[in-house]
Amino acid sequence: MKETWVKGKNGQYLVADAAVEYLGIHNPDDGTFQGAGTSGTEFDEVFVGIGDTPAEALDDALESAACAGWSIEDRLEQTLAAHLPAVDASELHFEDCPTRCEHCSCMDGHSYCCYCGQEMDGVEECDCEGSFQCYVAVYLRAVTRGAYLQRPLAA
């Protein structure tokens, strides 16, 4: 309920709690990314970012959060970044596809490019320009008005 969220001096929502989830590597063109949500969590909003590395994806998600009115401090970014793996999706090739079993091979004895769907029988490398991207979700919970009342009011 945004009407109860506390804004800081800069007019942006203050972050009470945050978490980051590395969602893996996906091809943004194949439609298999399931997304992320806050249902069943204590968080108010989630922002998904993509990039060649988890760090780039985190930057993308935090930029989206800032554009949506959240106060994103360097300390928060550093804390979240410490929980991400070191991966570079731009260095992946067809034979490295993390979803290869599901999307790139074993379809009636044929192999398909996980980027574009082209049949790969007898072809070692597809000439399409598809790419993999790392996906990261940043979950944020806002400071709410009642959160400042940690002790009972004096009588």
Give the CA count within 13 Å in the CB-facing half-sphere of 50. Answer: 13
pLDDT digits (tens, 9 = 90+) for 106-149: 344 456 565 555 666 655 555 555 567 889 999 999 988 765 54
Whether the full predicted model's pTM is greater than 0.85, yes or no, is: no
Q: What angle do CA 136, 83, 87 make, to 5 degrees?
A: 60
Task: Please give the backbone phi and psi of residue 57, each rounded to the nearest 5 degrees, phi first.
Answer: -65, -40
Looking at residue 99, its pLDDT comes to 44
DSSP 52: S
CB 7 within 8 A of CB 14: yes
Helix H or strand E encompassing 19: strand 15-26
pLDDT digits (tens, 9 = 90+) for 11-61: 899 999 999 999 887 767 666 678 899 999 999 999 999 988 889 999 999
Q: What is the largest CA-CA distance in the chain?
A: 83
Averaged pLDDT score across all residues of the chain: 75
One-letter amino acid for residue 146 of the chain = G
Token digits for 87? 């991966």
Q: What angle do CA 149, 138, 41 make, to 5 degrees?
A: 60
Instruction: Compute the distance between CA of residue 133 and CA of residue 147 in angstroms, rounded to an integer.
Output: 38
**How far is Cα of residue 89 from the mean position of the Cα atoms in its chain?**
14
- Return the domain boundaries, the chain: 2-145
Q: Which residues pair with 21 in a beta bridge?
A: 137
Instruction: Compute the distance between CA of residue 53 and CA of residue 45 in angstroms, rounded to an integer.
Output: 23
Looking at residue 104, its pLDDT comes to 47
Token digits for 126? 């597809």
Instruction: Compute the distance between CA of residue 56 and CA of residue 67 in angstroms, rounded to an integer.
Output: 17
* Secondary structure tally for the chain: helices H, strands E: 3, 3
pLDDT digits (tens, 9 = 90+) for 54-109: 899 999 999 999 999 999 988 989 999 999 887 766 665 544 454 444 444 434 44
